[in-house]
Homo-oligomer: A and B are copies of this chain.
Amino acid sequence: MPYVHGYTDREIRRLMEQSLILEDLLHSGTSYPDGSNVLEVGCGVGAQTLILSRRNPGAFFHALEISEESINKARELGQREKISNVEFKHSDLFEYAFEPESYDHIFICFVLEHLCAPEDALNIFLKTLRKGGTVTVIEGDHGSGFWTPETPESRLAWEGLIRSQRDLGHDPNIGRRVYPLLSASRYVVQDVSPRWVYADQSNHELLDGVINKIIAPMVRSAENSVLGSGYMEKDAWIRGLADIESVATHPEGTFFYTWFKGVGIKKQQVI
């Protein structure tokens, strides 16, 4: 599957570190009752799955992932962490034979932004959810990111990530669409909330974590497509990335970004 961030070891590290830095921000408000049967779609290397499993020890998780390499990493991790309430499945969500009304809840995080047809995924989820079940959707919005000092090259590098993701037919600014997407897919929307991170030098550790463990590696992961498409010359790209990294140490460094978390309920049976 074309995926803007690729599948390198550096990217796996980013996903794991990111998930821990953002755990409270993104997972607060999500708790699954004991005995729930929960589907996670697009679990990747298991970054969110591990957190779900730990925070909801009485629930059982079916974690689906399209990349064989990623799901193998997720399985390894699950074994290493002695996780017993997750079953990992290697499959494309658009190919998988979901049984109707078979899951109590569905969780997807950073997945719709990488699909050409997020609406189709939400429709599949609606069918495989039990009546009264919920889908929890967490997506970023790259249009929400800004920082100081914002040099032209750092902005261009950021735009390079956005354009590379758009070139794949995906929406890097999908966060703002979580409400309309859920609503149009016949979920009753319980809540959509921005989940934002703001950091400045009064909290250097957070600023450094967000910049150097999440944002800079995320932008860097698009290097091949940014340079390959000719959006930026290599020199400008290198300067842009260095400028983003320097936000963490610059006395005037600040950073803001928001994800959106939405919960939709399946209120009635769907044919």
Closest residue of B by beta carbon distance from A252 = B180
Q: Which residues of B contact A192 (CB under 8 A)?
A: 198, 200, 202
Interface of chain A: mostly helix, strand, loop or mixed: mixed
Determine whether the beta carbon of B177 is less than 8 Å from that of A252.
Answer: yes
User: Are the C-beta atoms of A194 and B202 separated by less than 8 Å?
Assistant: no
Selected contact of A258 from candidates B179, B189, B256, CB within 8 Å: B256
| CB under 8 Å from chain B, chain A span 182-239 | 183-184, 189, 192-194, 196, 198, 200-202
Taking CB atoms, residues of chain B closer than 8 Å to A183 are 201-202, 251
- Residue A56 at the B interface, CB < 8 A? no
| Selected interface stretch from A23-31, A98-106, A144-152 | A144-152
Q: Is A254 an interface residue (CB 8 A)?
A: yes
A200, B173: Cβ atoms closer than 8 Å: no
> Which residues in B have their C-beta under 8 angstroms from that of A141?
146, 256
Distance in Å: Cβ of A203 to nearest Cβ of chain B: 10
Task: For A254, list chain B residues within 8 Å (CB).
Answer: 176-177, 179-180
Distance, CA A252 to CA B176, complexed state (A): 10
Question: Which residues of A are interface residues toward B (Cβ below 8 A)?
Answer: 141, 143-144, 146-148, 150, 173, 176-177, 179-180, 183-184, 189, 192-194, 196, 198, 200-202, 251-254, 256, 258
Q: List 25 A-B contacts (CB under 8 A).
A: A141-B256, A143-B146, A144-B146, A144-B256, A146-B173, A147-B176, A148-B176, A148-B177, A148-B180, A176-B254, A177-B252, A179-B200, A180-B200, A180-B201, A180-B253, A180-B254, A183-B201, A184-B251, A189-B202, A192-B198, A192-B200, A193-B198, A194-B198, A194-B256, A196-B196
